[in-house]
Amino acid sequence: MNGRKVEDGGILYDENEPDEDDELQESPAASPGAPLAATPGIDWNEGGDVPEGVTGAELIQHFVNRLPNSPGVYRMFNAEGDVLYVGKARSLKKRVSNYAQGRVHSNRLTQMVRQTANMEFVTTRTETEALLLEANLIKRLRPRFNVLLRDDKSFPYILLTGDSRAPAIFKHRGARSRKGDYFGPFASAGAVGRTINSLQRAFLLRTCTDSVFETRTRPCLLYQIKRCSGPCTNEIRDADYAELVQEAKDFLSGKSQKVKAHMAEAMNAAAEDLDFERAAVFRDRLAALSHVQSHQGINPAGVEEADVFAIHHEGGISCIQVFFFRTGQNWGNRAYFPKADPQLSGAEVLNAFLAQFYDDKPCPRQILLSEPVEEITLLAEALSERSNYKVAISVPQRGEKKDLVDHVVANAREAHGRKLAETASQSRLLEGFAATFKLPAVPRRIEIYDNSHIMGTNAVGGMVVAGPEGFVKSQYRKFNIKSTDITPGDDFGMMKEVMTRRFSRLMKEEGLPDRTAEQNTDAADQPFPAWPDVILIDGGQGQMTAVRAILEELGITDQVVAIGVAKGADREAGRERFFMRGIPDFSLPPRDPVLYFVQRLRDEAHRFAIGSHRARRKKEMVKNPLDEIGGIGPTRKRALLQHFGTAKAVSRAAMADLMAVSGISESVARIVYNHFHDDAAG
């Protein structure tokens, strides 16, 4: 829902929110304080014993006396051991001495120095190594006072596999460990999906998994609707399929005109031979290719491979717009809103953003910027060193590239304006929410809970999180209901388990929140809180009784405001009843914006819980008994299924039959046989 502007009754989403098909885990992200792996060629130095009770500039001066004049990275910690800031320097001694002498330029940095209770240092061989290490540490530790790239999710690519007689085309994220050709990056999974759909029609490439491909005995539906050429059952010769694969590679490599010209010639030749059915096939393939290009937007002729960055900085919010060009084609764009000190200039924010952006992503040979940054030469050297090829970074002043950058700047300005409007709308809704439910302060974190199951099976509890900037999808959690004591369909029991697991873990990892300190600190200076101010429960008095019992048992009744939202008569929207401790239940006027806001929160929790339940149910439905056998991996599983046909037939097979399967030794056959014959295991 990127960049969506909603009405007062809705809730806002980040423009860079995760895609719907991303996996959502129950456990939170790794603790920022987790030990860091040793880095080859880098010496990890401790600053010696820290004087007891000394903090701030005096403590920093204690470290300065021991620091070398070599390049490196430094980390600043508060008294609780949380990382406040990560920085890099050409000379550690000179850079850190600025903090000891009070050479800071903003209230936030002054506050950072005052809170510093410890420091750690890393020396590196060169300043470029320091820059790359700094970016890595910032992304891993997410320090409070650094410019933070909020969405560091990897970009999707198109993969044409190279480890099969009939290569397949897939969407791919993550490490490029599989043999094949990768094309991208694309701005979103949706852009990849649309492109693959069109490429299927244009080149008739398979999209099935290798296991399905190797076990098919007749063509699937995709062959019938002319989305696949059917290499699985030899409906097309391998040589002809290889030609289709090469055409797809050429198209994705920027040779689109050559491919289209070849198809046009084949279409005309078929028409001249009066083979109109074959000509129609080429006509449809040409139309599919045109559809791909029509969705790629602006395609400048002079930009073969580049990423274009533009920043618009105003009102304390920075928007960085990124356009991706590969093989002369535009593969989409994305807007980022990094967390940064409002007093920083746009160039300073962009400078810090770039190193983090390419920390775990492949870099193009050319990067175009909307304005110069301080470390442009150093950054180019660091990216070239990491990429093993020359990376050029420039700020175009004229010509086609300047026009392209201006186009990206305009997109950044528009996205920035939408973000400001959405943030203001969200603030008004949260203020109205606080007033309606008589909260002591405007909530910064709201957690909404819901359960989903079918007759108690595959029960899942869902938690979604909302804050000043809308839904925070990185904080969503799902809870697979594990208790065997809960009666199937017991919503009260399921909610009790979810609440117990959630807040027991929260207390163990974060301790109790200091509400007084939070109220006395500017919200802009606080990280997004781990503790909720409010929890919304999709349910009535019964659900709230179970929730209050858990909160009282854990001793956190005064730390969290719990609100129950029960559907009205006939489950009609607009007639919801609200339940809170100490006051009678009540309803809100049908057109109240706060009511719409709460409905949107509840509906999002319902959507997430149902989605998690369906994913779990689907996993159970396709679960294969062979998956439960230790020592039986994908290769042996495939061999067994190809030999016997079904897992049920494997379970009935004798030892001699199992040993007859290629790759199944006597010991492995014994493991499989014993798994299905309990009496034989002894």
Q: Tell the CATH superfamily of the 440-620 domain.
A: UvrC, RNAse H endonuclease domain (3.30.420.340)
∠ at Cα 435 (432, 438), nearest 5°? 145
DSSP per residue, 31-87: PTTSPPPP-TT-EEEE--PPPTT--HHHHHHHHHTT--SS-EEEEEE-TTS-EEEEE
Give the model's confidence band at 309: pLDDT under 50 very low, under 70 low, under 90 confident, else very high.
very high
Predicted TM-score of the model (pTM): 0.64
CB of 69 within 8 A of CB of 92? yes
pLDDT at residue 289, rounded to an integer: 64
440-620 matches 625-681 in fold: no
d(CA 231, CA 207): 11
Please say if the pLDDT value at position 370 is more than 60: yes
Q: Which residues contact 471 (CB under 8 A, 6 or more apart)?
A: 11, 12, 13, 14, 17, 464, 465, 604
Please say if the pLDDT value at position 316 is more than 90: no
d(CA 630, CA 620): 18
Domain range 43-141, CATH class: alpha beta
Average pLDDT rounded to a whole number, residues 501-506: 90
Please say if the pLDDT value at position 534 is more than 90: yes
Which amino acid is it at 586?
F
Give the model's confidence band at 652: pLDDT under 50 very low, under 70 low, under 90 confident, else very high.
confident
Average pLDDT rounded to a whole number, residues 234-254: 85
Task: Name which of 44, 93, 42, 46 is nearest 67 in CA terms.
Answer: 93
Average pLDDT rounded to a whole number, residues 552-572: 81
Domain range 625-681, CATH class: mainly alpha
Residues 599-614 pLDDT 10s: 889 889 989 988 887 8
| Least confident interval from 1-10, 193-202, 208-217, 423-432 | 1-10
CB of 564 within 8 A of CB of 448? no
| Least confident interval from 39-43, 486-490, 508-512 | 39-43
The hierarchical CATH code for the domain 306-418 is 3.30.420
Domain ranges (residues) in the chain: 43-141, 157-294, 306-418, 440-620, 625-681
Task: At 556, list the tokens.
Answer: 């956190």
Sequence length of the chain is 682
Burial category of 496 from C-beta neighbours within 10 Å (exposed 0-12, middle 13-18, buried 19 and up):
buried
